[in-house]
Amino acid sequence: MTGLGKADRERLSAVLRGTKGTVTVAEASAILEMPASGTAKLLARWAKKGWLSRIRRGLYISVPLESRTADVPLEDAWVIADKLYNPCYIGGWSAAEYWDLTEQIFRTVIVLTTQRPRERKQTIKGTEFLLRSVSDKAMFGLKSVWRGREKVNVSDPTRTVLDMLNDPQLGGGLRSTIDMFRNYLNSDKRDLGLLIEYADQLGNGAVFKRLGFLLEKYAENDQSVIEQCRKKLTTGNAKLDPTLETEKLITRWRLWVPERWAKG
């Protein structure tokens, strides 16, 4: 570790051994048994010398020895998201990719968080994050998965589908959301009973309207589930996708849909 004295080399080595891909002031302070203020200055100095790369205030990642610059890309964006936006989970198209519900490759990572960030789109070290706020009671249907030495929450396949039915933009728009929904229906991850249960727990009546309509089109044999959706219809009309122009009202589902989706 050129550019560092013996004491600093030993302390930096101890910090890197004792952390899991990211370094926070609190973690380093506990490892080094130093006050937080002194530790923060130490980490900042190491970052200035190029041994750490600053993500946000108080959060750093290590710089590989072979790197010629401290401006390194994120090794695992999910781990960074968990550090920055916790309590949170990876969802939408990012989770759909993880569960093999789509073959599309999305560059942006979707994070659903109980925080209320001012900026919904953030770029960190070249990685784009799209943030959506959720309530504490909406933190259900999650799986903890290992990312290196860290555990990160990701929505399970059924919750992933539910979130995209709740907000089709989390699936990249209506067409790709429906494609992922159909892949879910044709996969071993399909669990419509759990989907109804999750939709009840989420409490958005528009989800049942969208779900019932789509099941009639793509899973017409699941009449019992379709009937459950029908019984849970709320008053008022919703849109299949709130961002699109809708010309046709499907009265039995109280759902406005684009003309092309009303056919067939």
Per-residue pLDDT of the chain (264 residues; tens, 9 = 90+): 457 788 898 999 999 899 887 899 999 999 999 999 999 999 999 988 888 888 988 999 888 765 555 555 577 899 999 999 999 999 999 999 999 999 999 999 999 999 999 899 999 988 999 999 999 999 999 999 999 888 999 999 999 999 999 999 999 999 999 999 999 999 999 999 999 999 999 999 999 999 999 999 999 999 999 999 999 999 999 999 999 998 899 999 999 999 888 775
Expressed as residue numbers, the domain containing 198 is 191-264
199 in the same domain as 241? yes
30 in the same domain as 87? no
* 67 assigned to some structural domain: no
Q: In the 3-class helix/strand/coil scheme, how is the chain assigned residue by residue? A: CCCCCHHHHHHHHHHHHHCCCEEEHHHHHHHHCCCHHHHHHHHHHHHHCCCEEEEECCEEEECCCCCCCCCCCCCCHHHHHHHHHCCEEECHHHHHHHCCCCCCCCCCEEEEECCCCCCCEEEECCEEEEEEECCHHHCCCEEEEEECCEEEEEECHHHHHHHHHHCHHHHCCHHHHHHHHHHHHCCCCCCHHHHHHHHHHHCCHHHHHHHHHHHHHHCCCCHHHHHHHHHCCCCCCEECCCCCCCCEEEHHHCEEECHHHHCC
Domains: count for the chain: 3
Output the pLDDT for position 212.
97
Output the pLDDT for position 149.
82
* 70 assigned to some structural domain: no
Output the pLDDT for position 184.
98
83 in the same domain as 46? no
Q: Which of 115, 107, 119 is nearest to 88 (CA)?
A: 115
242 in the same domain as 168? no
pTM of this prediction? 0.86
Q: Which of 173, 207, 242 is the last residue in one of the domains?
A: 173
CATH code of the domain covering residue 35: 1.10.10.10
25 in the same domain as 93? no
* 140 assigned to some structural domain: yes
40 in the same domain as 112? no
Output the pLDDT for position 264.
57
* 185 assigned to some structural domain: no
80 in the same domain as 34? no
